[in-house]
Chain A
Amino acid sequence: MFFSKSTKKRLKIFSLIAIAVSIIFFFIYNNLQKNVVYFYAPQEIKNLTDIPSNKIRIGGLVKEGSIKKNNNTYVFIITDLKNEIFVEYNGLLPNLFIEGKSAVAEGVLKDKKYFIASTILAKHDENYMPPEVANSLKKNKLNR
């Protein structure tokens, strides 16, 4: 044969390790794909061909004067100055959730105009704007 005994042994060990490592990475990657939450700006949602069934995040500015309250359910509009989306949220709004300021909501899309949020993400301080929101706003301001 081409290989000596010890080389064969090493090859065997090496291929075993390679297989184990690739299985582990496949496992990690697979799990990652299932559990990532994508972020969309309202404009991107308009351009979607089909509605994603799993959890997503949307973010933008909370439109001034758009917040309506009905029992414990809030409905407000999130905008990126190009497209608007109604967001329904059942729960308590965080301290820093203010009209005209930025917000990020996590939940599922009912249709292209209506979003049902399960969480409104808290921010660390008043001037902070999530980078995704800042990016999409910047793009839209430039395009206008």
Chain B
Amino acid sequence: MAGYIGNLALFFSLIFNVFLIFSLIKGIRNNNFKNSKTINFFNNSIFFLLLIAFLTLVYCFIVSDFSNVAVYQNSHTTKPLIYKISGAWGNHEGSMVLFILILSLFSFVFARAKVSEKLKFYTVFFQAILILIFLIFLILTSNPFDQIDPKPLQGLGLNPILQDPLLAIHPPFLYFGYVGFSLVFSFALAGLVTNNFDKSWSKIANFWIILPWSLLTIGIGLGSFWAYYELGWGGYWFWDPVENASLMPWLAATALIHSNIVTFKKDKLHSWTALLSLFTFIMSLLGTFLVRSGVLNSVHAFANDPYRGVYILSTILFITFFSLVIFIIKSPKRSLYGQYFFFQKDNFILINNCFLIFFLSVVLVGTVYPIILDAITGKSISVGPIYYHTILAPFLFVFLFFMSHGPLLSWNKEDKFLQIKNLKIFFPISIVISSVIIFWFFDYKDIILILGLLFSVYLIVSVIFDWISQKKLSLNFGRLVSHLGFGTLIFAIFINAYLSKEINAAMKVGDEIKIQEFIIKFKSINKIKKENYEEVFGNFLVTHKQKQVELTPSIRKYDQPVQFTSETSIKTNFIVDYYFAINLSEFEKDKIMVRFYYKPLMFWIWLSILLIACGGFYQTFRLRNEQ
């Protein structure tokens, strides 16, 4: 029954979408942008119909309606309610419904923004075309309301490592970010087609870039946090293609935020901003293709149907091709170049963009090259973290240096001497701070570590200096918070990378081992039975420099599907994380494999990501109030 409602809702949203596109074309042909009533009616109905379809799917998951294929394959009656709900978007079909729902939500909200009728018309038009493309994809290749007859009695269950509260909210955040960039994409196309790509365009666009960017930042952070505590390997970023897929649109959007400021403030860089607006969403689509098509193997690869991959890939090529054609034909007006100075804000933003695009190409090449090589020669390779680290680190230092000075420059005049004065203040302070840290905590010196600490401290110092010298704080508050977050993030990453410790051992109850400066005692073991799994806890006491920490990692045996997972136990004092994970071993029945990690400043990594996002959120609220 619910399946019919869902199918009907999807079907009607498709019909309405076709109507919407036709009435938009009619309006554009007659050059009549006044008649927005019908347009709004269709636009709103599409959103509500898709919302109904989505809620129907969630309902199917809640009541465990196994006549629905998606529910049958991804759910189980014994699963807790929250995972039944999150199961709705924890699979390919459901996540595509969410994808389209967000596309339409952005169109729905945008239709209420204060924008000229003509621009709005075109933006809704391009957005409707995107919705059409993905609706057809959904209905043809991955209908979430496909039925099975006869109805199975029980579902196959959700992959246990996905049964985690964080993963219930990670995909929506990520999707709001990814899909949110579609609006900037449509808006840029609208601006190009109507020859309205100018200052006023970028003023409105600002909000629609920073909002999804902030959400994406949170989404990436949540994914990373999940990988940290769920996978049990002590790491938080593995340069896995799936992680890179989310980083690429983030880098593109970060470049876009900055170039858009130049377009707004100085009426320059129109073409570049337009190109980045298109490119950011194309990167999101590429990310969707990488994780959804099955070319990569990960928890995200739900789709094993090669047609889906082919469809998404051809969609990306189609969208890229046509948006670039529009860009080339309707290239925005030439910028008026005034006098050029090196020490000027717009020039530093241009440098920032070059760096970000370089970082993006490094990640892009590292992610796509193995796939292309495999497709052409059949050779399988993997690109390790070393590639990214060696290539990114040296450029990161220079990037941090420019990032420290850029915001302090003026838009209109060159102030070289002021910068040299700043440099004379920042360098001594950051050299003192970073050398104190290095001599205090590190027995060995590594040039990468020294430079990493020096330049991240340099950025933090410059941001604090900038913060203090603000006349009106609210004006630049968002930027200051985000930049500070980036500085502390790099600082924490470097400290963490060089001070982390790892201990591996096989232990049985009562054992006590002493490795490095840690004493680990295996106190006891106990078992509990939960709704859909059994759990075995180990109680460990870690002594480190007279401090004692009790940790209780566990192993879960899930019933549906039968699978073992290690649950980590993490205690943090906000400076250092003590991290414990245990494994069963097939070969030593009496012993348990333990992994202990000492992870400094992990909390600060999460806090920094939050800061970066909060800067963005603050800015969006400020922009919203301005409009």
Kindly state the separation between the CA atoms of A70 and B520 in the bound complex, as whole angstroms. 23
Q: Quick check: is A116 within 8 A (CB to CB) of the other chain? A: no
Q: In the complex where A36-B381, A95-B566, A125-B159 touch, is A24 in contact with B583 (Cβ < 8 A)?
A: no
B386 A131 Cβ-Cβ under 8 A: no
A window 60-118: CB within 8 A of B: 67, 69, 72, 74, 91-99
B586 interface neighbour in A38, A55, A97, A125, Cβ under 8 Å: A97
Minimum Cβ distance to chain A for residue B272 (Å): 13
A99 B380 Cβ-Cβ under 8 A: no
Give the residue name and chain of the A residue nearest to B391 (CB): A31
- Chain B residues with Cβ under 8 A from A130's Cβ? 297
Give the residue name and chain of the B residue nearest to A131 (CB): B297
Kindly state the separation between the CA atoms of A104 and B234 in the bound complex, as whole angstroms. 20
B370 A128 Cβ-Cβ under 8 A: no
Give the residue name and chain of the A residue nearest to B385 (CB): A35
Interface bracket on A: 35 or more
Mask: chain A, 5-35; 1 = CB below 8 Å from B; 0 = not: 0000000000000000000110111011011
Interface bracket on B: 35 or more
B window 335-383: CB within 8 A of A: 358, 361-362, 365-366, 369-370, 379-383
B window 542-567: CB within 8 A of A: 555, 561-566
Main secondary structure of the interface of B (DSSP, over half): mixed
Kindly state the separation between the CA atoms of A74 and B586 in the bound complex, as whole angstroms. 12
- Chain B residues with Cβ under 8 A from A74's Cβ? 587
Q: Quick check: is A141 within 8 A (CB to CB) of the other chain? A: no
- Chain B residues with Cβ under 8 A from A122's Cβ? 231, 233
Q: Quick check: is B585 within 8 A (CB to CB) of the other chain? A: yes
Q: Quick check: is B80 within 8 A (CB to CB) of the other chain? A: no
Q: Quick check: is B299 within 8 A (CB to CB) of the other chain? A: yes
- Chain A residues with Cβ under 8 A from B381's Cβ? 36-39
Kindly state the separation between the CA atoms of A69 and B298 in the bound complex, as whole angstroms. 31
Kindly state the separation between the CA atoms of A72 and B587 in the bound complex, as whole angstroms. 12
- Chain A residues with Cβ under 8 A from B386's Cβ? 35
- Chain B residues with Cβ under 8 A from A97's Cβ? 586
- Chain A residues with Cβ under 8 A from B390's Cβ? 31, 35
Q: In the complex where A95-B584, A97-B586, A98-B586 touch, is A35 in contact with B383 (Cβ < 8 A)?
A: yes
A28 B391 Cβ-Cβ under 8 A: yes
Kindly state the separation between the CA atoms of A18 and B176 in the bound complex, as whole angstroms. 37
Pick 27 A–B contacts, CB within 8 A, sort by A: A28-B361, A28-B362, A31-B387, A32-B365, A34-B387, A35-B384, A35-B386, A36-B370, A37-B383, A38-B379, A38-B381, A39-B379, A57-B382, A67-B586, A74-B587, A92-B506, A92-B585, A92-B595, A93-B586, A122-B231, A122-B233, A124-B159, A124-B161, A125-B161, A125-B563, A130-B297, A131-B297
15 more CB-based (< 8 A) A-B contacts, given A74-B587, A93-B586, A125-B159: A28-B361, A32-B365, A32-B366, A32-B369, A35-B384, A37-B381, A37-B382, A69-B587, A72-B506, A95-B583, A95-B584, A96-B564, A122-B231, A124-B159, A124-B298
> Would you list the 9 A-B pairs with minimal beta carbon distance, nearest first?
A35-B387, A39-B380, A36-B381, A92-B593, A132-B380, A31-B391, A35-B386, A37-B382, A95-B564
A contact set with B: CB distance below 8 Å: 24-25, 27-29, 31-32, 34-39, 55, 57, 67, 69, 72, 74, 91-99, 122, 124-128, 130-132
